[in-house]
Chain A
């Protein structure tokens, strides 16, 4: 075990994967940084600091700085994967899936099924997402809901350094395309990370806390907000189960249903807007499959149905926070 933050865990995992497997390549804008400049390659090492040191070690043939061309970045990753490589492609901001949407949803997602199982497309698309930097409407979105809706894509959203490593390694060993969502506000989060080839299977939720009175399913950054709310509730003797699904596709339905069967109460916390969200999806799942266990209607704590505003006062109001989660938990307990 080594203590490190999410940023370093991702960096280390990519380093180890590239050392282990020559078919792993990384491509994206400024992932090395400084190509064609006097400062030279590696002037930056990725604007998020997640690809530091890679180009120096593995060279520009494997750590590829690309022009600003997201369709070509993702499409090239697809073609390389169909040809036997294991590309990792970085979208500097998850919002840019708007630019390369076709490659993600009509191409990568379809190959394995559409080609009768004779193709594999093991790409890892790294999508840096989430609000919290006042980066406004086009640089803040939590778009995992969109890609979770597409059959053929796996969607991971790690919240701890250990899971960042474990899920990334799992992605690099599977045969399916993985949309790997990294929350900007979680990069600095520290934790223990197992050494060596640590893998976390997809579709297995992490029980972040056991409390027994109310089930909170929280996504991405919302896990830490749920933990804060649960701390306050604990002072009043209210115990929360907090489930971090870790992957939204595949989704660990069993972990959620098992918990709700115990608690009879569900709160889902999701940074995306409410319509067609992972929150509404989990709400529907529980309504369908755990109906008789429910003691209160499921509560969905989500962002509002608006683009993400710039002004700090508005952005703070946009992102679901601990007080809203706490209030939702109390509503499930007060119901009826």
Chain B
């Protein structure tokens, strides 16, 4: 695979932004600054970025309850996201959605989603639109190992094959759905890709904690989908570094498991070690990005804290009728 310096720097910046955004949220939530349910994406950065670095704004993605990483990877405004999560009127969704419902349809981010399994059928619809537009664009549904057990996901996969649209099912297998293990809840063991295959799709598998692995595999998948217009699926083996939600004691984990995955499966560390990174980039350049991202996140939190709050009198805006 031919990498460019610009491409790698951009991908690293996106992954570092996700990591620091989430780590900062982890701290602020512990302080009680942030209302609602928040699911952090740390550990899965390579998955979102490895997929979305291939997309432009006309390609669509549909996300999940663990959506911050997908949003950042697709190019959502980080400060607008932070404001949204703080419940500000200036947030990307005017403070009405919060962490679980960030969307920016203008850049092809069709929404994070609080209903597990709701996204895959919507990606099929977005793929119908892509096919109608005839410009080789695609629609991607991100789903977890838990979401892959919803009937909606099965229906979507079957229908995508039947009506032959460029929908891509990206399964991020982080091995847990809330407190349940994938080896229990996914009847095919922890193999999700074979399910997609059974619906008649071409499937790929990659290490979703390794940017280069995900990016290179997605390149093949996207070549195929953009050329044929057929749906496809990919299973990304990855990890989540924090609890299911903030405050989760994670008693389901093995002893030492978190230390091990943080040590062995950290997408940022792995990125730095990859041969193409070492060949094209200096460590110092990546350190500089880390610093710039830290400044951006500081600014985002500061602005979110000071941003306009929602005014109760605006509660029935964007509703076509009030009673």
Binding site for B on A (CB under 8 A): 29-30, 33-40, 43-44, 47, 65, 67-72, 95-96, 98-99, 133-139, 274-275, 304-307, 309-314, 316-318
8 Å CB contacts to A: which residues of B164-202? 176-186
Q: Cβ of B182 and Cβ of A313 under 8 Å apart?
A: no
With A37-B181, A38-B252, A305-B322 already in contact, the answer to whether A310 and B147 are too (CB < 8 A) is: no
Contact A305 B179 (CB under 8 A): no
**B256–chain A nearest beta-carbon distance, Å:** 10
Supply 24 A–B pairs (Cβ within 8 Å), ascending by A.
A29-B178, A30-B179, A30-B180, A34-B251, A35-B184, A43-B179, A68-B116, A68-B146, A68-B147, A69-B150, A135-B37, A135-B114, A136-B96, A136-B98, A136-B101, A136-B114, A138-B101, A139-B37, A304-B322, A306-B322, A311-B35, A311-B309, A314-B96, A317-B312
Q: Mark B229-270, 1 if CB is under 8 A from A, else 0.
A: 000000000000000000000111111010000000000000
Q: From residue A92, how far is it (CB to closest CB) to chain B in Å?
A: 9
The residues of A that contact B88 with a CB separation of less than 8 Å are 311
B87-138 contacts to A (CB < 8 Å): 87-89, 95-98, 100-101, 113-117
- Decide: A309 near B185, CB < 8 A? Known: A68-B149, A95-B115, A134-B98: no
Q: Are B185 and A68 in contact (CB under 8 A)?
A: yes
Taking the closest CB of chain A, its distance from the CB of B180, in whole angstroms, is: 5
- Closest residue of chain B to A68, judged by CB? B146
Q: Measured between alpha carbons, how far is A136 from B87 in the docked complex, in Å?
A: 11
Please, which residues of chain A bring their CB within 8 A of the CB of B35? Answer: 134, 310-312
Further 16 A-B residue pairs, CB within 8 A, beyond A135-B100, A137-B101, A314-B314: A37-B184, A68-B116, A69-B149, A69-B150, A96-B115, A134-B36, A304-B316, A305-B319, A305-B321, A310-B35, A310-B98, A311-B88, A311-B96, A312-B35, A313-B309, A314-B315
Contacts of B149 in A (CB 8 A): 67-69
Q: Which one of B100, B151, B252 contacts A37 once the chains associate, using CB atoms below 8 Å?
A: B252
| B322 and A134 form a contact (CB under 8 A) | no
- Residue of B113, B178, B257, B319 near A38 (CB, 8 A) is B257
Which residues from B are CB-within-8-Å of A306?
315-316, 319, 322
A316 to B101, CA, bound (A): 19
Q: Could you tell me the distance between the alpha carbons of A313 and B89 in the complex, rounded to whole angstroms?
A: 10
Report the minimal beta-carbon distance from A296 to chain B, rounded to whole angstroms: 20
Residues of B within 8 A of A135 (CB): 36-37, 100, 114
A residues in contact with B113, CB < 8 Å:
138
Beyond A35-B180, A38-B253, A44-B251, whether A139 also contacts B316 by CB under 8 A is no
A49 CA to B183 CA in the complex, in Å? 24
Q: Is the interface of A mostly helix, strand, loop or mixed?
A: loop
Q: Which of B87, B115, B183, B185 is A313 in contact with, Cβ under 8 Å?
A: B87
Interface of B is mostly: loop
Picked from A40, A44, A275, the residue with its CB within 8 Å of the CB of B323 is: A275
Complex-state Cα separation, A138 to B114, whole angstroms: 6
Contacting pair B184 A136 (CB below 8 A): no
Q: A72 to B146, alpha carbons, bound, how many Å?
A: 14
Q: Which residues of A contact B186 (CB under 8 A)?
A: 67
B177/A310 in contact, CB under 8 A: no
Contacts of A304 in B (CB 8 A): 315-316, 319, 322-323
The interface size bin for chain B is 35 or more
Q: Which of A37, A65, A67, A136 contacts B253 (CB under 8 A)?
A: A37
In the complex, A72→B149 CA distance in Å? 10
CB distance from A35 to the nearest CB of B (A): 4
A29 and B180 contacting across the interface, CB-CB below 8 Å = yes
- Whether a CB of chain A sits under 8 angstroms from the CB of B6 is no
Q: Which of B87, B116, B250 contacts A134 (CB 8 A)?
A: B87
- For residue A37, which residues in chain B have a CB less than 8 angstroms away from its CB? 176, 179-181, 184, 252-254
Residues on the B chain within 8 Å of A305, using CB: 316, 319, 321-323
Enumerate chain B residues within 8 angstroms of A98, measured Cβ to Cβ: 115
The docked-state distance in angstroms from the alpha carbon of A37 to that of B115 is 24
Q: Are A310 and B101 in contact (CB under 8 A)?
A: yes
Q: Residue B98 contacts which of A95, A311, A316 (CB distance < 8 angstroms)?
A: A311
Output the least CB separation between A129 and chain B (Å).
14
A98 CA / B118 CA spacing, docked (Å): 10
How distant is the Cα of A69 from the Cα of B152 in the complex, in angstroms? 9
Q: Is the CB of B180 within 8 A of A310?
A: no
| B294: chain A residues within 8 A (beta carbon) | none
Task: Report the Cα distance A119→B146, complex, angstroms.
Answer: 34
- CB atoms of A47 and B178 under 8 A apart: yes
Known: A68-B116, A134-B98. A38 touches B315 (CB 8 A): no
Q: Is B281 an interface residue (CB 8 A)?
A: no
B286 in the interface, Cβ–Cβ < 8 Å? no
Given A68-B146, A138-B114, residue A35 in contact with residue B312 (CB < 8 A): no
Contact partner of B95 among A30, A33, A311, CB < 8 A? A311
Contact call A99/B117, Cβ cutoff below 8 A: yes
Q: Is B295 an interface residue (CB 8 A)?
A: no
Say if the beta carbon of B279 comes within 8 Å of chain A: no
- B113's closest neighbor in chain A, by CB? A138
Is there contact, CB below 8 Å, between A313 and B179?
A: no
Q: Please report the C-alpha to C-alpha distance between residue A38 and residue B312 in the assembled complex, in whole angstroms.
A: 46
Smallest beta-carbon distance B27→chain A, Å? 19
Chain A neighbourhood of B253, CB < 8 A: 37-39
Residue of B nearest to A100 (CB): B151
Within the assembled complex, what's the spacing in Å between the Cα atoms of A173 and B110?
A: 46
CA distance A58 to B254 in the complex (A): 25
Are A71 and B151 in contact, with the CB atoms below 8 A? yes
Taking a contact as CB atoms under 8 Å apart, the answer to whether A310 and B95 are in contact is yes
Do the beta carbons of B180 and A33 come within 8 Å of each other?
A: yes
A316 to B310 CA separation, bound complex (whole angstroms): 11
